[in-house]
């Protein structure tokens, strides 16, 4: 899926994309995900179904693309003055967003869309950690590898949100962040 | 979904369940998952569609139930003589099975079926760890908490299989197992 690369802002292609994304977002508010069809989305967006098939391939890819836009962070992660604080703030916000009903649906849409789409989800998180780690280095703090943050913070949060019914608490994020920092010292 | 509880082996109910499960497994070998329908499965299994709706609710729940049977382990995990060896053997087998095309499809079916079904997936893994930990205690080894094994071994494996395109190596499982054991000592 390469729908976001090389789209000139304001161009016809970008306007079609924005209109189709808006149609999907509106329809997801009104109906069950399983009820959505490409002709329904095309009618709402004012484009032909073949425009959607040509650009996105199929419904799953389109829903994955919209989900990817939704998880793109609004800005830089919060700067709390320490790596521990930054990871904690990031983790708590990530947990709250992902555990919400629309958040869980977004994750499932990314997975249904397949490899490329869900892989970009990991890249977005890694880019955010890049910012946190640069700050920590500037402060003179010892820093973990990005992969350790993925393995010890992101993965357990996503796994437990997807595979358990338990309500996750902020204290759990704290345990995970301690695990990340423990890995730096060793 | 309570389809597996209280089913008397050999009873009519158990025979219907076995026949429907067999029909799903056969059809999944022959067709794309998205092509399967309840009437198609009912015809193959020799039952009425309403039997399926009454017992499983909908197609997603049925596919999730079949997926759950597939991930049920065949027996006790391998006994290698040490907790580290046992975790490594378990992790490598789990990685290979889950990263396979049918393995990934099973995980997505469990997620699509929703909370109950995917929660039982976690319970199955925890039961296996219970066996490993009992053995380690009998050997006099210090043991981690089951939740630490879930957070540091299962979660990163599942997360990376679902969200990245990279091929996972046995060396990666070793790093994760070391992380679990590091958590025991601290």
Question: What's the pLDDT at B104?
Answer: 82
Instruction: Find out whether B182 and A182 touch, Cβ atoms under 8 Å.
Output: yes
Return d(Cα B69, Cα A184) in angstroms, integer. 40
Give the burial string for A149-166 (b: 16+ CB within 10 Å, else e). Answer: bbbbbbbbbbbbbbbbee
Among A8, A21, A114, A134, which Cα is nearest to A61's? A114
Own/partner pairs, B30-33, CB within 8 angstroms, 24+ separation: B33/B63, B33/B105, B33/B109
Put simply, the answer to whether A115 touches B165 (Cβ < 8 Å) is: yes
| CATH 1.10.357.10 domain extents, chain B | 74-181
Tokens linked to B89:
């053997």
Give A57's contacts in chain B (Cβ within 8 Å): none
Torsion-angle region of B114 (φ positive above 0: left; ψ -120 to 50: alpha; else: beta): left
Digit-by-digit pLDDT tens for chain B (186 residues) are 444 455 566 678 889 999 999 999 899 889 887 788 999 999 999 999 999 999 988 888 888 888 888 777 777 888 999 999 999 999 999 998 888 877 888 888 888 777 666 777 788 888 899 999 999 999 999 999 999 999 999 999 999 988 887 789 999 999 999 999 998 865
Chain B positions with Cβ closer than 8 Å to A: 108, 110-112, 115-116, 118-119, 121-122, 150-152, 154-156, 158-160, 162-165, 176, 179, 182-183, 186
Return d(Cα B25, Cα A184) in angstroms, integer. 46
**Closest to B158 (Cβ–Cβ): which among A108, A159, A164?**
A159
The complex scores an ipTM of 0.79
Put simply, the answer to whether A158 touches B154 (Cβ < 8 Å) is: no
Tokens linked to B139:
């050997």
Would the pLDDT of A1 be above 60? no
* Of B23 and A64, more confident: B23
| Phi and psi at residue A39, to the nearest 5° | -60, -35
Question: What's the pLDDT at B63?
Answer: 87
The three-point CA angle A152-A154-A158 to 5° equals 120
Put simply, the answer to whether B119 touches A163 (Cβ < 8 Å) is: yes
Tokens linked to A96:
């709250």
Q: Which residues contact A94 (CB under 8 A, 6 or more apart)?
A: A154, A157
- Residues A27-46 have a mean pLDDT of 90
Q: Kindly report the CATH number that applies to the domain delimited by B74-181.
A: 1.10.357.10
Give the residue on A whose Cα is nearest the Cα of B153: A151
Mutate to test the interface with A, among B60, B63, B155 (most CBs of A within 10 A): B155
Mutate to test the interface with B, among A155, A171, A183 (most CBs of B within 10 A): A155
| CATH 1.10.10.60 domain extents, chain B | 11-57
Cβ burial, residue A10 (10 Å; 0-12/13-18/19+): exposed
Give domain B11-57's CATH number out of 1.20.1260.10, 1.10.3720.10, 1.10.10.60, 3.40.50.720: 1.10.10.60
Tokens linked to A119:
């892989």
The pTM (predicted TM-score) of the whole model is: 0.80
Put simply, the answer to whether B151 touches A111 (Cβ < 8 Å) is: no
Give A115's contacts in chain B (Cβ within 8 Å): 165
Put simply, the answer to whether A115 touches B158 (Cβ < 8 Å) is: no
Instruction: Find out whether B47 and B26 touch, Cβ atoms under 8 Å.
Output: no
Put simply, the answer to whether A121 touches B155 (Cβ < 8 Å) is: no
Put simply, the answer to whether B111 touches A162 (Cβ < 8 Å) is: yes
Tokens linked to A89:
């703030």
Instruction: Find out whether B177 and B84 touch, Cβ atoms under 8 Å.
Output: yes
Mutate to test the interface with A, among B37, B58, B159, B181 (most CBs of A within 10 A): B159
């Amino acid at each position: 899926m390469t729908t976001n690369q090389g789209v000139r802002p304001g161009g016809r292609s970008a306007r079609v994309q924005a209109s189709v994304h808006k149609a999907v977002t509106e329809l997801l508010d009104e109906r069950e995900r399983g009820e959505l069809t490409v002709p329904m989305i095309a009618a709402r967006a004012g484009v032909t179904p073949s425009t959607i098939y040509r650009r996105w391939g199929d419904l799953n890819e389109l829903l994955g693309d919209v989900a990817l836009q939704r998880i793109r962070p609004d800005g830089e992660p919060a700067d709390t003055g320490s790596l521990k604080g930054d990871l904690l703030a990031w983790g708590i916000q990530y947990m709250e967003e992902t555990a919400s009903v629309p958040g869980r649906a977004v994750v499932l849409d990314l997975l249904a869309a397949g490899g490329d789409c869900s892989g970009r989800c990991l890249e977005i998180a890694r880019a955010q950690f890049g910012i946190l780690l640069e700050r920590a280095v500037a402060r003179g703090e010892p820093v973990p590898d990005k992969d350790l943050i993925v393995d010890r913070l992101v993965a357990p949060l996503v796994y437990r949100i997807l595979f358990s019914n338990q309500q996750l608490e902020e204290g759990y994020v704290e345990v995970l962040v301690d695990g990340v920092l423990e890995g730096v010292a060793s």
